[in-house]
Amino acid sequence: MAKQRHPSFVCQECGAVHNRWKGKCEACGGWNTIVEETGSASTMAGPVATRPSRAKGRIFPLEGLQGETKEAPRTPSGIAELDRVTGGGFVHGSIILLGGDPGIGKSTLLMQATAALAMRGERVAYISGEEAVAQVRLRAERLGLGQAPVELASETNVEDIIATLSQGRPPALAIIDSIQTMWTETVESAPGTVTQVRGSAQALIRFAKTTGTTVILVGHVTKDGQIAGPRVVEHMVDAVVSFEGDTGHHFRILRAVKNRFGPTDEIGVFEMSDQGLREVPNPSELFLAGRDMATAGTAVFAGMEGTRPLLVEIQALVAPSSLGTPRRAVVGWDQSRLSMVLAVLEAHGGLKLGMHDVYLNVAGGLRITEPAADLAAAAALVSSLSGNPLPPDTVYFGEMGLSGAIRPVAQEQARLKEAAKLGFSSAVAPAVRVDKSKSTKNERLPLATSSIGHITDLVAGIAARRRKAS
Ligand code: TYD
Ligand code: MG
């Protein structure tokens, strides 16, 4: 098939192809993201097979839903927090995209994972397109992993990398750090463009599928949290994992955004130290360390991240505003969720917040997505507005409806158990459902729980604390 060569205008954010240059990409709304690229039309359009067209297709056998399926074979990395996120280890022949801000610790994490596998006798390769071999070696030495038999190279040409890795026993794991630095000869565009990234990823995916090697692609993230350019790669890979945290904190959170072979709600928690990333097996202790218990405006939320309960402190500051439109700022939680909680507190809780600035912060740099945090956020807000500190030994959880009703959430028992384990003595939560079919006798709750059904109960409870105190 003769390749047509013509210039195309490709959005570097979303990969949309336009027929002329424009300031704004109509597909994703990005400004100044369109770049002229030359390449064959087939690579522009995505994964199109380049085999000659035939009048008749080959007939392949169709199978039913029943049948024998083997569990996908996996290689655990030996780093428990990483294996938790992948779903029990690296699936052979799978391809993982690891995204994260520059400097967050992606290369460090992957060096630790490759070294751990190499020490167990697996063949592993670390290909860096960003750093020289000496730099990577220096990092490994700093991590105390200088002796691990990791195969190391500084290379950016995908064909050369695949040819090299194909020699001998296929590696169990190959790291490509990063996909943005890779280029393939099959595409004419400049390195770093969407077309190159996609072409390189395609070649590496083919390599992973044919050899059974697990390939991890490192991807950089733009300011607004997108994996730059390789957003087009996201749907081609088996798993997308992001490494988060802010550089002001030591905590790093590994989170699966997409996973064809495992859960997407599990997180792995790490701490960055001078000897690399350390696993944090009991993150609640870490997130509650340094808690200020005497001040109004803080509440402990008993949350869940996947199958793991996680306690975090939610801090609120409600202060009279000098602005016409009061400020609403939130870190680690959803802005629209905060607006909703504030509206419910005003409409059903009798609070006047229209003249107040409101700040909400999740301590430790964690990002909460659960609606179960509504009640803890509301408690922190009411506490801050009223100036009454909440009891330091109490945890909060519950979802709030627009009517002010507090609705039950999943896994109450696990939340309460974790709180009891960490020395909390009571919980404020929606009425706990007792599963009649399962419980034999009266199932004992691990913690004294005051059930509340409506937001007015919460507001009244916090106001009553002042009367008791004074
Ligand atoms: P790195 O893994 O290079 O980040 P990425 O690949 O995501 O860009 O990590 C860089 C940061 O981590 C750097 O600012 C220094 C810090 N760091 C430590 O604090 N301790 C260590 O042991 C290592 C290796 C790095
Ligand atoms: Mg790096």
Q: Which residues is 280 bridged to in the sheet?
A: none
C-alpha span between 119 and 100 (Å, rounded) = 26
102: Cβ below 6 Å to ligand 1? yes
* Interior angle at CA 302, CA 382 and CA 295, nearest 5: 40
Least confident of 62-66, 134-138, 188-192, 406-410: 188-192
- Bridge partners (DSSP) of residue 465 are none
Ligand 1 center from residue 423 Cα (angstroms): 35
The Å distance, Cα 106 to ligand 1 centre, comes to 8
3-class SS shares of the chain: helix, strand, coil, % to 5: 30, 25, 45
> Among 164, 209, 155, 205, which residue's Cα sits nearest to residue 182?
155
**Which of the listed residues 108, 128, 180 should we mutate to test ligand 1's pocket, taking the one with most ligand atoms within 8 A of CB?**
108
Q: Is the CB of 224 under 6 A from ligand 1?
A: no
| Structure confidence at residue 36 (pLDDT) | 82
Q: From CA 334, how far away is CA 269, in angstroms rounded?
A: 21
Is residue 123 lining ligand 1, measured as CB closer than 6 Å? Answer: no
Confidence of residue 45 (pLDDT cuts 50, 70, 90): very low
Residue among 272, 277, 278 to mutate when testing ligand 1 (max atoms within 8 A of CB): 272
pLDDT greater at residue 56 or residue 337? 337
- Predicted pLDDT at 287: 81
Closest approach atom of ligand 1 to CA 139: 24
pLDDT band at 345 (very low <50, low <70, confident <90, very high): very high
Whole-number Å distance, alpha carbon 103 to ligand 1 midpoint, is 6
To the nearest whole percent, how much of the chain has pLDDT over 90? Answer: 53
Question: Of all atoms in ligand 1, which is nearest to the CA of residue 101?
Answer: 7
Question: From the CA of 242, which ligand is nearest?
Answer: 1
Q: 88 C-alpha vs ligand 2 centroid, how far in Å? A: 24
Cα(455)–Cα(289) distance, rounded to whole angstroms? 29
Model pLDDT, residue 439: 46
CA of 82 to the centre of ligand 2 (A): 17
pLDDT (0 to 100) of residue 469: 58
pLDDT top residue among 71 and 223? 71
CA atoms of 458 and 380, how far apart (whole Å)? 11
DSSP 221: B
pLDDT, one tens digit per residue, over 193-208 is 888 888 999 999 999 9
Res 429 pLDDT > 60: yes
Q: What is the DSSP letter of 389?
A: P
Judge whether residue 52 has pLDDT over 60.
Answer: no
The pLDDT value recorded for residue 144 is: 93
Summarised one tens digit per residue, pLDDT across range 346-376 is 999 999 998 999 999 998 878 898 999 999 9
Residue 48's pLDDT is what?
Answer: 44
In angstroms, what is the span from residue 468 Cα to ligand 1's centroid? 51
What pLDDT does 39 receive?
A: 57
**Residue 47's pLDDT band (boundaries 50, 70, 90)?**
very low
107 C-beta closer than 6 A to ligand 1: yes
SS3 labels along 410-464: CCHHHHHHHHHHCCCCEEEECCCCCCCCCCCCCCCCCCEEEECCEHHHHHHHHHH
Residue nearest to atom 15 of ligand 1 (CA): 103
Ligand 2 centroid–CA 317 distance in Å is 37
Q: Assess whether pLDDT exceeds 70 at residue 223.
A: no
Closest Cα partner for 302 from 445, 195, 119, 171? 445
The protein residue whose alpha carbon is closest to atom 10 in ligand 1 is 103
For the residues 322-333, what does the mean pLDDT come to? Answer: 91
Q: Which residue lies with its CA nearest to atom 22 of ligand 1?
A: 276
Are 225 and 100 contacting, i.e. CB atoms less than 8 angstroms apart? no
* Residue 243 CA, closest ligand 1 atom number: 7
Task: Give the 3-state secondary structure of 256-322.
Answer: EEEECCCCCCCEEEEEEECCEEEECCCHHHHHHCCCCCCCCCEEEEEEEECCEEEEEEEEEEEEECC
**pLDDT interval class at 448 (50, 70, 90):** confident
222 Cα to the center of ligand 1, angstroms = 18
Protein residue closest via CA to atom 14 of ligand 1: 103
Give the number of the atom of ligand 1 that is nearest the alpha carbon of residue 104.
7
State yes or no: pLDDT of 468 exceeds 70.
no
Query: Between these two residues, 450 and 293, which has the higher pLDDT value?
Result: 450
Nearest to 370 by CA among 305, 287, 451: 305
Q: What is the pLDDT of residue 303?
A: 93
Measuring from atom 2 of ligand 1, which residue has the nearest CA?
A: 105
On the question of pLDDT at 82 being above 70, the answer is yes
Q: Is the CB of 104 under 6 A from ligand 1?
A: yes
CA gap 247, 188 in Å, rounded: 37
| Assessment of whether the complete model's pTM goes beyond 0.85 | no
Q: Is the CB of 100 under 6 A from ligand 1?
A: yes
Mean per-residue pLDDT, 317-324: 91
Residue 44: the pLDDT is: 45
CA of 252 relative to ligand 2 center, distance in Å: 15
Ligand closest to 98 (CA) is: 1
The predicted pLDDT at position 220 comes to: 82
Using CA positions, which residue lies closest to atom 11 of ligand 1? 103
The reply to whether ligand 1 has any atom less than 6 angstroms from the CB of 7 is no
93, pLDDT greater than 90: yes
